[in-house]
Amino acid sequence: MTAVPGRAGSEAPAPIFAALGDPTRLRLVARLCEGGPQSITRLAAGSYFTRQAITKHLRVLEAAGLVRGFRHGRERRWEIRARRLDLARRHLDRISRQWTQRLEALKRDVEDMPEEP
């Protein structure tokens, strides 16, 4: 588990996964992806959560770089930071692909084996 050069600091995907590792935060991210930038009032509508609880979760997502708040008229809205979400997505794609390639190589090796006489 030595450090991997060029993947440290703000580019590391682990803190992104940690932030997504809570059902409410994961749901908030999904709603922002689906519904676009929106206020805490709208995010809280139809949920069991108070505005305070949602604010707390948004702060965790903000610290991981997954969302960002901005002013829209008199309102404060929150939006997804797609680049960070994409970093996590590409990381899972890469390691999944390595695993699949490994399986395929193994399958080829088995197929190339001479049959038992």
Indicate the residue among 85 and 115 with the shorter CB distance to a copy of itself: 85
Stretch that binds a copy of itself, among 15-23, 68-76, 109-117 (CB under 8 A): 15-23
Local structure of 105: helix, strand or coil: helix
- How many angstroms separate the CA atoms of 79 and 66, rounded? 9
Residue 14 as a binder of a copy of itself (CB under 8 A): the answer is yes
The amino acid that residue 98 corresponds to is Q
Please tell me whether residue 30 binds a copy of itself under the rule CB under 8 A: yes
Which residues make up the interface to a copy of itself (CB under 8 A)? 1-2, 4, 12-30, 32-34, 36, 46-49, 54, 80, 82, 85-86, 88-89, 91-93, 95-96, 98-100, 102, 106
